[in-house]
Structure 1
């Protein structure tokens, strides 16, 4: 951020297992802050363990917002998160607290700092019809249908990307307009470019991957399999975001007898490592305003952020 402008928020991003939560907790303690979730999986109340949500002890140390406030049956969107985040920011400011937004979901931070396209709500019956056609006819047939209705969107999508193909088709059917067109119109950002400090924690890859593997093993030890079993018992649409949280699909396959627990864990660890790699790429290209720091430099960055928050308070 530019010098001379008051800090109205601090943004802490980074790949999964990079140490974001500890940094946010310490900053909130030092700067009278409130921690606001910017992770698309930690919004779901059904998934505390498998998404590494803050512990109950951590949540009692400083105020936390937008965690576990959405049911897994809800297809929660970035637009819905922006609306909730706007309320959380207003509440924090009204209480004289520093908003600290933390997470790994790049689209949420992009919406926060650059705005977001607004697609009208899709009628539930239309969404269910598209999902039924996807299951009945397969992703190739749905992509062929999209190519007729919205060739520009179809051309940009991977032929195997079930979720985005279904999303693009339901938008063109519901609105008569391409999803690409909606992306050009939208909400303004919640934060102006000079009103925040933003950091991206960037551990060395080998170190990060080792932490990811160890953390998944710890999740299993803490009861992640039981948590996923309770979720699976609800019989929800497998295309819902909560059903695709890292580790959930593989553990469900284990519960069905399709994989051993070790095979499921191997898949989950690999999926999470691949996601972390995509996070590095996305933030580097989409959010250049974030300062990249190594975890060992985070304490120094935190001290500067806390000082800046006090100076602007």
Structure 2
């Protein structure tokens, strides 16, 4: 266990618990245990679970789990709609205030690190999305690949290109879009962020905990079993229903979610079933790698090995000190 800095309350600010981790690390199961022991209410921090009609591939908790531990900020947006990190911050703070007003503690659980960062640091006032520019970028990616988009970004915003992996299409698209729309780089906008001001003005003290296996091979095995399990539960049929709607496409954030993109391409006849399974597992591993990379740079993070039988009791003891 990497204990980080001691857990301590900020002056007169109520606590909020944040449980981060890569996909398939077991965050939901642990969150349910926390809710059953402490007066906590869960807020999902997941950019895919926000969407309705997308249950299996997003790993959304089942009805029995939600009955024991209700989740806020899941299942409220149509897949054709867009959602942003800034909107998440607004929504999460509203939910956190409601939970605190009820005499309980917010428990934020998920793997969308950009949302956690937006909550903690605030966001620069980025330009609004431009659908025409986004479609042009997507067309380039379809014709030449995302590596070509990454190379284009590297020419105009080398700082962002160095931070963003060529296999991260959503962030690549947004970074290049910002430059094409505004003439300024995402890096320049980020430099103008008042991070400490955002942290100081946050009405909660955030306590960050991470759950991940120490052995990457264990995580890879869990990811493969999880993806195959989703297929057995009916993931292809779920995506077929989305495909049949006629108003969705692979340029939308909802359909770029890991697993959905690969199954969509299988339904469209672009991938065989076996290739879809292989690419779905690889894409999920790449997502987990990016999530772990984000966590390595996180301040004040208490990290726990998800495979250690002592982890649950150690984490619950730490939370006990916060919840008093």
TM-score, normalised relative to structure 1: 0.85
Which string of whole-angstrom CA distances, capped at 9 and with x for unpartnered residues, describes residues 27-49 of structure 1? 11211211111111111123110
Q: CA deviation at 1:119?
A: 0.9
Which string of whole-angstrom CA distances, capped at 9 and with x for unpartnered residues, describes residues 255-307 of structure 1? 123333232112111221222122222211x2132111112233123322442
Partner of 2:278: 266
Cα separation, partners in 2 of 1:182 and 1:234, compared to 1, 3 Å: farther
TM-score, normalised relative to structure 2: 0.82
Asked if 2 retains the 8 angstrom alpha-carbon contact of 1:143 and 1:165, the reply is yes
Q: How does 1:140-179 map to 2 (within 5 A)?
A: 150=156, 152=158, 156=162, 163-179=170-186
Which whole-Å CA distance do the structure 1 matches of 2:99 and 2:320 have between them? Answer: 18
Q: 2:211 aligns with which of 170, 185, 201?
A: 201
Which whole-Å CA distance do the structure 2 matches of 1:131 and 1:179 have between them? Answer: 18
- What secondary structure does 2:223 align onto? helix
Partner of 1:212: 223
Q: Greater shift after overlay, 120-129 or 48-57?
A: 120-129
| Count of aligned positions | 309
1:109 and 2:113 aligned:
no
Which whole-Å CA distance do the structure 1 matches of 2:144 and 2:222 have between them? Answer: 40
Cα separation, partners in 2 of 1:259 and 1:137, compared to 1, 3 Å: closer
Cα separation, partners in 2 of 1:88 and 1:190, compared to 1, 3 Å: farther
- What secondary structure does 1:280 align onto? helix
Which whole-Å CA distance do the structure 2 matches of 1:101 and 1:306 have between them? Answer: 13
Partner of 1:92: 99
- What secondary structure does 1:233 align onto? helix
Q: Greater shift after overlay, 188-197 or 176-185?
A: 188-197
Which whole-Å CA distance do the structure 2 matches of 1:274 and 1:141 have between them? Answer: 19
Q: Greater shift after overlay, 152-161 or 268-277?
A: 152-161
Q: 1:119 aligns with which of 110, 126, 130?
A: 126
Partner of 2:305: 294
1:63 and 2:70 aligned:
yes
Partner of 1:254: 266
Which whole-Å CA distance do the structure 1 matches of 2:150 and 2:200 have between them? Answer: 35
Which string of whole-angstrom CA distances, capped at 9 and with x for unpartnered residues, describes residues 120-171 of structure 1? 32354554566567668976887787678x4556865677865445423432
- What secondary structure does 2:245 align onto? coil
Q: CA deviation at 1:112?
A: 2.2
Partner of 1:40: 47
Which whole-Å CA distance do the structure 1 matches of 2:85 and 2:167 have between them? Answer: 23
Which whole-Å CA distance do the structure 1 matches of 2:287 and 2:257 have between them? Answer: 11
Over aligned residue pairs, what C-alpha RMSD do you find? 3.0
Q: Greater shift after overlay, 204-213 or 125-134?
A: 125-134
Q: Greater shift after overlay, 113-122 or 64-73?
A: 113-122
